[in-house]
């Protein structure tokens, strides 16, 4: 899933794989207008703002994947091809690979009841205190993000002893369930208010959603605690240099542990 900011660059990169025996599909997410924090008017319509027109718009977070995937036609295409699940992950998470053990659990659950939504979580360290966590409310799993936590409880939320796991954003989702919920307009996600300041100094508001927040809308949802090796985000040059160095290996767990330790120290 691309935004209007990344679509053209992605297409240029994908040209290198035209001769490979693999199908790579892309689709664009929605484009929403930024809101002037003072006037509450869309920036694109605000005569007081004279910046670049592209800054007046934003992609509304990865929670938009359900509607955009459905509207792109790819959801029906994959269902028509007999596919049953999608694996969703952040593009910067190099540890997010398809785990056949998890897929086998989805296809052949011990209790015979298939899960429509599985979220991979992993043990929290002090480098992950801002990560969302799973809670249970009214018989449903729910994702709680730090942006939803009242200021008086933020330190409690960041505690690695009270909230021991966090969301890796590695998700396994039933295609049939996405289609059903989209057609029923039944995917419920909390709105996250994200305050930004544009280059010209204008304070704006972005309304976003998180893909994992939809977990409560699916039936028989599940959280799976996975090894830390499945969460390896590369967000900075330092992270990339560590992964490219001889400290990193796909085969040696101790080397992975050392790498994660070094990343945590850098953070």
pLDDT digits (tens, 9 = 90+) for 96-128: 999 999 999 998 888 888 999 999 999 998 888
Which strands sit side by side in the sheet containing 35-36, from one edge to the other? Answer: 35-36, 203-208, 192-197
Distance CA 243, CA 249 (A): 8
CB atoms within 10 A of CB 72: 16
Pick 28-228's CATH classification: 3.30.70.141, 3.90.550.10, 3.40.50.2300, 3.30.1490.190: 3.90.550.10
In angstroms, the CA 208 to CA 5 distance is 16
CA distance 88 to 28: 15
pTM: predicted TM-score of the whole model, two decimal places: 0.85
**pLDDT tens-digit readout, 121-165:** 999 988 888 889 999 888 889 999 888 888 899 999 998 888 899
229 versus 180: the higher-pLDDT residue is: 180
Options 235, 252, 253, 254, the catalytic residue: 235
Residue 93 phi, psi dihedral angles, 5° rounding:
-90, 100
Q: What is the mean pLDDT of the chain?
A: 88
Q: How many CB atoms lie within 10 A of CB 74?
A: 17
Residue 241 confidence class, pLDDT cut points 50, 70, 90: confident
Instruction: Name the nearest CA neighbour of 95 among 254, 267, 248.
Output: 248
For 182-217, write each residue's pLDDT tens digit. Answer: 999 999 999 988 999 988 788 999 999 999 999 999
| Predicted local confidence at residue 266, as pLDDT | 47
Q: Is 235 among the residues known to form the active site?
A: yes
Handedness of CA 219, 106, 212, 72 (dihedral sign): negative
Domain positions in the chain are 28-228, 234-267
């Amino acid at each position: 899933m691309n935004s209007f900011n990344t679509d053209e660059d992605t297409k240029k990169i994908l040209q290198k794989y035209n001769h490979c025996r693999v199908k790579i599909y892309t689709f664009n997410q929605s484009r929403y207008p930024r809101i002037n924090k003072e006037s509450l008017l869309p920036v694109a319509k605000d005569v007081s703002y004279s910046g670049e027109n592209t800054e007046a718009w934003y992609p509304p977070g990865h929670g938009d994947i359900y509607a955009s995937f459905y509207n792109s036609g790819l959801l029906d295409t994959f269902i028509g091809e007999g596919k049953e699940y999608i694996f969703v992950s952040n593009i910067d998470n190099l540890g997010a690979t398809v785990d056949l053990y998890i897929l086998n659990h989805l296809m052949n659950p011990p209790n015979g009841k298939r899960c429509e939504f599985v979220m991979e979580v992993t043990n929290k360290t002090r480098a992950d205190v801002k990560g969302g966590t799973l809670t249970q409310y009214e018989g449903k799993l729910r994702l709680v993000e730090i942006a939803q936590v009242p200021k008086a409880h933020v330190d409690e939320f960041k505690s690695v002893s009270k909230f021991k796991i966090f969301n890796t954003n590695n998700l396994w989702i039933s295609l049939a369930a996405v289609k059903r919920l989209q057609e029923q307009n039944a995917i419920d996600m909390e709105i996250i208010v994200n305050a930004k300041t544009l280059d010209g100094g204008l304070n704006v508001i972005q309304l976003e959603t998180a893909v994992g927040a939809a977990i409560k809308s699916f039936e028989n949802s599940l959280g799976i605690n996975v090894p830390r090796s499945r969460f390896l985000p590369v967000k900075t040059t330092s992270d990339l240099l560590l992964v490219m160095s001889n400290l990193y290996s796909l085969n040696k767990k101790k080397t992975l542990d050392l790498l994660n330790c070094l990343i945590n120290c850098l953070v």
